């Protein structure tokens, strides 16, 4: 590490007076994914609640989300998350695996890469931590194998894991446990040194920074929807950042507003608005940290659009909004993308989702 720093200073020295400046590279990366948060979901939020947070991003873009499947326009969360987590596209349904002539190639994830370089890593979501989007960042499986994904979390090296999903970690007969193999993965995590937190009060009392490594699971499966959600996504993100930032080599944090997608699947616009608000509040926490820190890249994007929501009417004077969905499935509409901080100039106005993963992987490797 010392050699690399010296080489970097030398490059800076030689660079004095020359035309090409060194490209800025972030020390920390925070990737916030609104699952299913298409441009229409954002427009509904902006119309109803205002645009104070998203207008703080100096850069924006559109992301093409097509999976590796040549006969598909529309992605699922597994393929889209894999593209951002590894820089490689895969087939719908697969998590950081890609089919080859026989069997699968294992795609290296940004969490694995960051861990290998001594950086801190974290995942904060409002679904179960074994669900498709978070799982693509640390596991190699089919998205339906949530019991197996929970086992793979044991060896992930993740420093901070916050979300829901105790039932995937406990055996049948213990609480809401649904594991058929009799394993109690929460006890196995404790034996590996994890601080295991399973209720909100304990989370509040655990202080800041949290003891690491830490896993906080606040529901048997997904967290309750807002306004009952405790902790909120923003509360979890605040503690995660305060914890991860103590690593002098920097950190990678993935945050997901997981249930925007679920509300959109059921064409529940009011609930989709509340979920988007919960997500944007977390974006604001990340942005405030990055603004003060100066070495942090914040990216806000979606894995795909869900429902094809559009604002079709309403009254601007009282922020009344009318919306319509085209259906209950994902669509191929490009996903919105916002970037703030060093490295944000690496992203063009239109890109494929695996390009995001490629650039982030490069940033983690260059540190
Ligand atoms: Zn979905």
Average pLDDT over every residue of 285-295:
97
Share of the chain above pLDDT 70, in %: 93
Q: Say whether pLDDT at 289 is over 80.
A: yes
Report if residue 99 sits inside a domain: yes
CA nearest to 299, candidates 256, 236, 244: 256
Confidence of residue 157 (pLDDT cuts 50, 70, 90): very high
Report if residue 18 sits inside a domain: no
Could you give the dihedral angle defined by the CA atoms of residues 225, 36, 87 and 152, in that order, rounded to the nearest 10 degrees?
A: 30
CA atoms within 13 A on the CB side of 221: 4
pLDDT digits (tens, 9 = 90+) for 324-355: 999 999 999 999 999 999 999 999 999 999 99
Q: Say whether pLDDT at 16 is over 70.
A: no
- Cβ–Cβ < 8 Å for 61, 292: no
Give 180 Cα–ligand 1 centroid separation in angstroms. Answer: 27
Position 138 scores a pLDDT of 98
Q: Say whether pLDDT at 17 is over 60.
A: no
Q: Say whether pLDDT at 288 is over 60.
A: yes
Q: How many domains is the chain partitioned into structurally?
A: 1
Position 24 scores a pLDDT of 84
Average pLDDT over every residue of 139-153:
98
Q: Say whether pLDDT at 124 is over 80.
A: yes
Position 22 scores a pLDDT of 55
Confidence of residue 21 (pLDDT cuts 50, 70, 90): low
Report if residue 28 sits inside a domain: no
Q: Rounded to the nearest 10 degrees, what angle do helices 233-244 and 269-293 cross at?
A: 20
Report if residue 336 sits inside a domain: no
Report if residue 88 sits inside a domain: yes
Q: Which residues are catalytic?
A: 77
Position 260 scores a pLDDT of 98
Report if residue 34 sits inside a domain: no
Alpha helices in the chain (DSSP H): 2-15, 39-49, 77-86, 110-116, 132-136, 146-154, 185-191, 200-205, 233-244, 260-265, 269-293, 353-366
- Cβ–Cβ < 8 Å for 135, 277: no
Burial of 324 (C-beta count, 10 Å sphere; 0-12/13-18/19+): middle
pTM of the model: 0.93
Domain of residue 293 covers 76-164+199-213+222-315+358-367
Give 77 Cα–ligand 1 centroid separation in angstroms. Answer: 6
List, as ranges, residues with CB under 5 A of the ion ligand 1: 261
Question: Mean pLDDT score of the chain, rounded to an integer?
Answer: 94
Give 262 Cα–ligand 1 centroid separation in angstroms. Answer: 6
Report if residue 51 sits inside a domain: no
Average pLDDT over every residue of 263-285:
98
Report if residue 24 sits inside a domain: no
For residue 53, count other CB atoms closer than 10 A to its CB. 21
Give 13 Cα–ligand 1 centroid separation in angstroms. Answer: 50
CATH number, position 103: 3.40.720.10
């Amino acid at each position: 590490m010392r050699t690399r720093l010296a080489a970097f200073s030398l490059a800076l020295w030689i660079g004095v007076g020359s035309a090409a400046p060194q490209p800025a590279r972030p020390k920390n990366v925070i990737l916030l994914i609104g699952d299913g948060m298409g441009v229409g979901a954002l427009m509904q939020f902006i119309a109803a609640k205002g645009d104070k947070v998203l207008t703080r991003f100096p850069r924006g873009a559109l992301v093409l989300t097509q999976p590796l499947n040549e006969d598909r326009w529309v992605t699922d969360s597994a393929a889209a998350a894999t593209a951002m987590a590894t820089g490689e596209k895969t087939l719908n349904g697969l998590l950081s695996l890609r089919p080859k002539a026989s069997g699968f190639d294992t795609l290296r994830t940004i969490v694995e890469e960051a861990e290998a370089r001594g950086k801190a890593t974290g995942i904060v979501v409002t679904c179960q931590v074994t669900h498709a989007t978070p799982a693509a960042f640390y596991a190699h499986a089919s998205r339906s194998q949530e019991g197996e994904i929970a086992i793979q979390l044991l060896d992930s090296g993740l420093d901070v894991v916050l979300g829901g999903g105790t039932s995937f970690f406990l055996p049948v007969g213990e609480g809401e446990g649904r594991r058929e193999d009799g394993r109690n993965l929460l006890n196995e995590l404790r034996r590996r040194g994890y601080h295991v937190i399973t209720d909100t009060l304990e989370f509040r009392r655990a202080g800041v920074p949290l003891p690491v490594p830490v896993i906080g699971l606040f529901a048997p499966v997904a967290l309750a929807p807002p306004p009952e959600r405790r902790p909120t996504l923003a509360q979890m993100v605040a503690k995660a950042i305060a914890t991860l930032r103590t690593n002098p080599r920097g950190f990678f944090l993935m945050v997901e507003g997981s249930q925007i997608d679920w509300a959109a699947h059921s064409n529940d616009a009011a609930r989709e608005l509340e979920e988007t608000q919960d997500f944007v509040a977390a974006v604001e926490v990340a942005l405030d940290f990055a603004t003060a820190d100066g070495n942090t890249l914040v990216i806000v994007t979606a894995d795909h659009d869900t429902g094809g929501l559009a604002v079709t009417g309403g009254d601007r004077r009282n922020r009344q909004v009318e919306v319509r969905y085209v259906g209950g499935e994902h669509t191929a509409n490009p996903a919105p993308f916002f970037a703030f901080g060093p490295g944000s100039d690496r992203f063009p106005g239109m890109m494929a989702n695996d390009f995001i993963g490629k650039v982030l992987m490069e940033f983690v490797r260059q540190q």
